[in-house]
Each structure stands twice: as structure tokens, then as C-alpha cells.
Structure 1
Amino acid sequence: MTIKNSSFSTFAERRFRLSGKALIEKGHPYFVPTDALEDASATWDAGYLSMSHYDYLGLMHHPDTTAAAKAAIDRHGTGVGASRLVGGERCAHRALEDDLADFVGTTGALSIISGYLTNVTLIGHVVGSKDLVVVDELAHNSIMMGTKAGKFTVRTYAHGDLDDLDRILTQDREKFGRVLIATEGLFSMDGDITGPVTV
């Protein structure tokens, strides 16, 4: 494709118009001010429900959550100042991980600032050059980026197709040390739920 105009913003605006701007009467759908929507929703009978955010349990505005956050700011300030590796950890970090480990029923847990960073960073720490990662072809971008961050073999299987997964494992399992199967429990973009896997 040839871009006749050197201005990226002009090109992006043109592509946006061609892709259906006429369907959106009041501007583009990006960077919508959600706090304004939340404020306006107080007058709406049906309220306001965002299907794009991660507050699945509705705890972001729960009184206990906001009170704990305010108390933590009063005690510790607005941040930790450095990574745990460089600056040390807060007692609350270890207490959270101990509680998570007890809840899950394991000997330990590690909390990371976001799910995206978890997948990008941990896959390469779990498997190495003699290992195999088998990933669902529609797995989240963070998983896909994590599979590119290390020196290991990666295979993809057809989305949600456990027979295809089984075929890959039957064909390749013995060639590798450890095998990591990377998928999602609930695919956030499609709403699919991963079926049970027996290996």
C-alpha cells in the first residue's frame, strides 16, 4: 500500500473515516472519558456497565477497597519508589502473597503488577532451550509476546481444539524436556472457555 500523504495523523484519520466513522455520530471511539460516563450514569435507570475494563468483581469502588487504599497512601505514600529487587518490598507485598498461596493451596505465590507483564516475563523463566511451549492460536497478545521472549520451541494449536493439542503433544512431547501449555481459561476477546485438558 502506498501512503500519498506523509502525515501519519492524516492517514489514520482517513482510514478511520473509511472504516465507518459515519456510524459514530459524535466522534471517534478511542479515549472515551469514562469518568464522565460514570458521572452521567447516576441519572440513567439502567446504570452504566463497562465491558472493556478489568473490574470483574466490582471492587474498584467498594468502600473496603477504597478505605484500604487511602490508609495505605497515608502510611506509605503514593508508591514504593523502586522495584522490589532494587528497593526491597513492603510487608504488605509478602502478606498478600502468603494469603494468595494459602487461598490457592500452594507453598508460595508471586504477585506481579499486571497480567500482561506476568505472561510476557514469566514464560521465559519457566521454560528453557530444551523445552516446548504449546499455545492456543488465539491466546492473548501477552501470551504470544511471552512466547517470543525466550529460547525455546513454540507450537500453536487450532483455537480450542484439544484434538489438535493432543496431536502436537503425541508427535512432539518426547523430543523436549518440559512442556508448557499456554491458553486462557476465559478468552477475553471471544468469550470462549477452554475445555478440560488431560495430559
Structure 2
Amino acid sequence: MIQLQTERTIIRDHNLDDLPTHHSLFSDKKVMYYLQDIATHSLDESKNNLLSAITEIQKLDRKYYFFRIEVKRTGEHIGEIGYTVTTVTPLGNIVEVGFFIRDDYWGKGYTAEALKEVMRFAFEENNVFRISCGCIKENVGSEKVMIKCGMIKEADFKSVVWHNGEIKDRVEYRLLKDEWKTVTQGMHL
């Protein structure tokens, strides 16, 4: 079981006791506005989602690293973060990272703090070579998190995502392991 810590957060694998707050977060329409494809609409859907994450923990060839973000001081569940291994290479794994956090914690630095730690874990402990992340361009909060964590803009896609009845733009960022080393020298982690 993976458990990471930052100054203000605990980032950990899930367990069955997480279901009530897991459901509350995944079924929150405001929080999940840009992630409607993974939002849940019933307790059963949330339970299945949670069980999938828990089942993955036991796999030797684990491809999904989905973590709960808690406030260290209180244990309060405030968000989710994680990554999916999309390609295995001799240089290391290529992964896609994602995150979301309760709206009462938006703009307070918790997501960037958690992402920096997850990137550190991925690069330094989990044989990751490349991390990519993207969002709908109007989701400026998520884009700011990527920038704050030293990610490099790689693409600006026009009219590529169908969301809430309209076509929208998407931005993509990346960070390679060698770039991570440079980034960590220039920022306090």
C-alpha cells in the first residue's frame, strides 16, 4: 500500500472505509464538471469505482495508481490524484496524470502540493520516464497547477473536446524525468 506525505497532505491508496467520502466527491457535479466521464451517479457506481482502485493495488503489473488526498492535520478527504501507465518502455513508463479536488479547496495550493509529490514518487520510486497531463483550456485552475509544478506546455488543441453541448479547446503538458531533475533544482519541493 502506497502512502505519500507532503507538508499539508497525505496521499494514499484507497480502502473500503473510504466509500462514503469517495461517493460524495465523485458524485459532486461542481467538482466533476470537467470530468463527467468518470463522475458517479449512485452509491453502487461509486463502490464499483472504489473497488476497481482497490483491486489494482494488489496487481504485480499495476497500471493504475489512483490515490486519495487527505488533509494531514484532520484526515479530511479533499481530492483524488493519480496516474495511468499508458506505455512501458526500456527507458521507463509513460503515464498520464490526473487530479481533482473539492471546490472549497480550490486555489489554496493543495493540488499542486499533491501533484509535486506524486511526480516525485513516479520519477524517483516507480520507474516513470514521462508524465503527461491535459485539460479543457477553460479549466484554468488545472492548467495553473501544471504550470506551478514545472510542466512544459506541449500542445494547444483547437476544437477537440465535446463538453456540455459544445466543442472546446484542450491543452497538454508534459514532464520528462530529466526535466524533473532540472525543475526540482529550481523550486522548493
Structure with more contact order per residue of length (Cα contacts < 8 Å, sep ≥ 6): 2
TM-score, normalised by the number of residues in structure 2: 0.28
TM-score (norm 1): 0.27
Q: Which has the higher helix share?
A: 1
Identify the structure with the greater strand proportion: 2
